[in-house]
Copies of this chain bind each other. A is one copy, B any other.
Amino acid sequence: MRKLGLVPTIQRLAVLEYLENNHTHPTAEEVYQGVRDQFPSLAKATVYNVLDALKKAGGIQELTIAREAARYDYNPSPHPHFLCRVCGNLYDVDLPCSIRPGDEICGHLVEVAQVYLHGICVQCQKQNSQNKNESKTGVRRSSVSTKRRDDAGAP
């Protein structure tokens, strides 16, 4: 924390530890809920402050891939992200970005480069084809959840 030039408060350490243990790209709300279990006095504004401070210090990165809420990635190095429109899971994609910070594009100086992909993740594609096959043979099962799973994470 001191390497980042930040005063190491218990709130900041708790938030950073939560992100370290949860590579699910949680929202500020989810960080708040998660950290508050072991830290009931935590204020939501503090979570926003801490996430902002960590982001500005380069310790984490903020993802604005979903309009509803920002998500946070413990890994600050630039890499593409994939958001599944069926389950809502957000995956890291292990590909080098073609445009990197420091590059010049049309004369513009690039400081941050984000690649956001939207579509259907590998698991939801499988689920979907399974459901189709099962409906052909008369087997029924509950439909694929459209809500985000709590155990979401990188593959």
**Which residue in chain B gives the minimum CB-CB distance to A96?**
B98
| Min CB gap A97→B, angstroms | 8
Which one, B70, B111, B125, contacts A118 given CB within 8 A?
Answer: B111
Contact A119 B112 (CB under 8 A): yes
| B122-A117 in contact (CB<8A) | no
Query: Does A108 lie within 8 Å of B112, measured CB to CB?
Result: no
Flag whether A64 is at the interface (Cβ < 8 A): yes
Q: Is A65 an interface residue, CB under 8 A from the partner?
A: yes
Residue on B nearest A115 in the bound complex, by CB: B115
Interface string of A107-121 (1 = CB under 8 A from B): 111111111111111
Q: Which residue of B lies closest to A116 (CB)?
A: B114
Give A85 to B109 CA distance when docked, in angstroms.
11
**A 22-59 to B, binary, CB cutoff 8 A, 1 in contact else 0:** 00000000000000000000000000000000000000
Please, how many angstroms separate the alpha-carbon atoms of A73 and B91 in the complex?
Answer: 26
Candidates B64, B99, B120; contact of A65 at CB < 8 Å: B64
Q: A67 on the interface (CB 8 Å rule)?
A: yes
State whether the Cβ of A152 lies closer than 8 Å to any Cβ in chain B. Answer: no
5 closest residue pairs by CB, A with B? A107-B122, A111-B119, A112-B118, A114-B116, A98-B98
18 contacts between A and B (CB under 8 A): A82-B110, A85-B111, A91-B108, A93-B106, A94-B106, A95-B99, A95-B105, A99-B115, A107-B155, A108-B117, A108-B119, A108-B122, A109-B119, A110-B117, A111-B119, A112-B117, A114-B117, A114-B118
